[in-house]
Chain A
Amino acid sequence: MQGRVFMAVVFLLYAASMAIAGVPGDGERLAETCTGCHGTKGASPGNYIPVIGGQHAGYLKKSLVEYRDGLRPGGVMANLAKGYSDGQIDDISKAVASWKWKNSPIKSAFKGKKLAVETESCVACHGKKGEGSADTPRITGQSPGYLKVVLQEFSDGKRKSPEMELIKGVAATELDKLVIFYTRK
């Protein structure tokens, strides 16, 4: 047992000595291939491509695994996620989560006084400010187009999640209100 601990310590010291000052590690370099679409440090400038920088690591990992295993409709992500091992998915998720969240530059326009939208059920998991935690994504400040697509997938039953069952069959106009609420100016 002590031998094993000793070996682990030696390995860690060795790994640390391998790191080169200023040069990002493997996880960071893998994650940097994401930023061609998702923007530098995951701050997506687009409407339909989500902000990922600063998203919770648990949720990022869950998403990548679901894309990889075909459990989530994914466009390019359904392919790309198949290119990484479990360990790499772990590393990518941690690296991307370590970046600072930046709200999407695209905001939903809302001119009325009060948005009549039922968010109590959202708050229960995603938090008071839609900040999320662990496996539950941050939703406030997300790219509006992407958020709508995801809600529609849950509503249509194309994407399965026990937590999001409650949104199944909800009308598109109601989903729009939720999107506006979490991405408004």
Chain B
Amino acid sequence: MNRRDFIKNTALGVGAVTLFGSRAFNVHAGEILPKKGKRVVVAGGGFGGATAAKYLKMMDPKLDVILIEERASFISCPVSNLVLVGLKEMKDITFSYSTLAKKYGISVLNAKILAIDPVSHKVETSKGSVAFDRLILSPGVDFIYDNIKGMDARSQELFPHAVKAGPQTIQLTQELKAMKPGENMVMSIPEAPFRCPPGPYERACLVANYLKNNKKGSKIIVLDANQDVVSKAKLFKAAWKDYYEGIVEYHPDSEVKEIKAETRTVVASSGEYVGAILNIIPEQKAGSMAFMGGLMPQGRRWSPVSALSFESSVHKDVHIIGDATDGDVIGSMPKSGFVASTMGKAAAASVMAMLAGKEPVSPYLANTCYSMVNEREAIYVTGVFEYDPQTKKIAGKKAAGGVSPERSVLLGHQAEDWAKGIWSDTLG
């Protein structure tokens, strides 16, 4: 019985319906943080949302900004592959939201989003409903298990994706540690687009490096639903050849069809594979809040938004940023934390303009992403993106997109500093 039923039943029970009035039945947990001036609510405190909230406050310290996030702390997906193999610890990638609250005056609400009403401009959370003038959603990604037979709730727990850094990162770390020499890990990669395109391939490198040093005779079997490595292909393959020959076993065109939990078997389009560890990364879709309030058109899995303002194509006054956005609608960009962060800044600027009754301003986006191929060396990919008023899409500047000519130790140092930079820009 939820609170609403409770009120209803109790009211009827004591025969005092009139006491509550008809409106009482529409109120769930009641409004919290009553709105006074202009307010922007940011839902989702990942790279996109946290950055948007911070940059809104940097533009106008007086603006009422509420950041709603379910998790008590921020856990970074970048660098989480290093945690898996013991090169970093969870505490190295876990950060507090307190600086955003103290230094910038953002109201950080630790609550779960339950519903969104774009029409009455309200967000229903586990702690009560919050009103907004404009809403920025940073929903992240969610997972589609329907296409894999046997991937029931139990299998989902047994075979972690570890794409969202958190409990599954810890689980996979422990499994790797406990794995016996000679046993194998199977990792599956879904068809693109998915969060952090180089992520699984970096994981293959780092796990292979770990196996090489700690588990003699073990290997990582990579089942890729794509026809080839999706990001930094040449560089990753060079690392596999030079460092991990016989340890990384790469199978392109291998879509996972079924999981047999009892025998720890993956049935893929290219054959059957057994692993002591199954790291199943399923197909992805926008995070759950992108599907609330009628914001997701029927049959779609990524959010359609304006490429200029990131305002939802379905409802005005609601902006959607980050991995959840539909590349077919706004222009193709990698679903990376860095892109999400620049989208957060761009959306914040347009939201400010639109609050003032002006036109949105042109977004400037970029991507910089490093991947470690072992404990010292890194490679990178870059991109610069700009809005094209002709096509009404965001397009990459060809000359600015590309990968590092080679892997190097200096890039490894820069990779570490990259993380420090983006963490501080997001949360510090």
CB atoms of A35 and B425 under 8 A apart: yes
B369 nearest in chain A by CB position: A76
CB atoms of B402 and A79 under 8 A apart: yes
Q: Choose one: B59, B364, B380, B428; the contact of A33 (CB below 8 Å).
A: B364
Question: Closest CB of chain A to B421's CB: distance in Å?
Answer: 4
Q: Is A123 part of the binding interface, using a Cβ–Cβ cutoff of 8 Å?
A: no
Question: Closest CB of chain B to A31's CB: distance in Å?
Answer: 9
CB atoms of B421 and A83 under 8 A apart: no
Q: Is B5 part of the binding interface, using a Cβ–Cβ cutoff of 8 Å?
A: no
The distance in angstroms between the C-alpha atoms of A76 and B370, with both chains bound, is: 9
CB atoms of B424 and A45 under 8 A apart: yes
Given the interface pairs A20-B353, A37-B368, A39-B424, the reply to whether A84 lies near B384 with Cβ below 8 Å is yes
> Chain B residues with Cβ under 8 A from A76's Cβ?
368, 380, 382, 404, 414
A49 nearest in chain B by CB position: B417
The interface of chain A, by Cβ under 8 A from chain B, is 20-24, 26, 29-30, 32-40, 44-49, 75-76, 79-84, 145, 149
Question: Closest CB of chain A to B345's CB: distance in Å?
Answer: 5
> Chain B residues with Cβ under 8 A from A33's Cβ?
342, 345, 364-366, 384
CB atoms of B410 and A36 under 8 A apart: no
The distance in angstroms between the C-alpha atoms of A69 and B8, with both chains bound, is: 71
Most buried by B among A32, A35, A40: A32
Stretch among B293-301, B322-330, B355-363 lining the A interface? B355-363
The distance in angstroms between the C-alpha atoms of A149 and B417, with both chains bound, is: 14
B350 nearest in chain A by CB position: A23
Question: Closest CB of chain A to B208's CB: distance in Å?
Answer: 25
Q: Is B399 part of the binding interface, using a Cβ–Cβ cutoff of 8 Å?
A: yes
The distance in angstroms between the C-alpha atoms of A121 and B207, with both chains bound, is: 49
Q: Choose one: A38, A40, A84; the contact of B428 (CB below 8 Å).
A: A40
CB atoms of B421 and A22 under 8 A apart: no
> Chain A residues with Cβ under 8 A from B404's Cβ?
75-76
Q: Choose one: A22, A35, A75, A81; the contact of B60 (CB below 8 Å).
A: A22
Given the interface pairs A30-B364, A76-B380, the reply to whether A83 lies near B400 with Cβ below 8 Å is yes
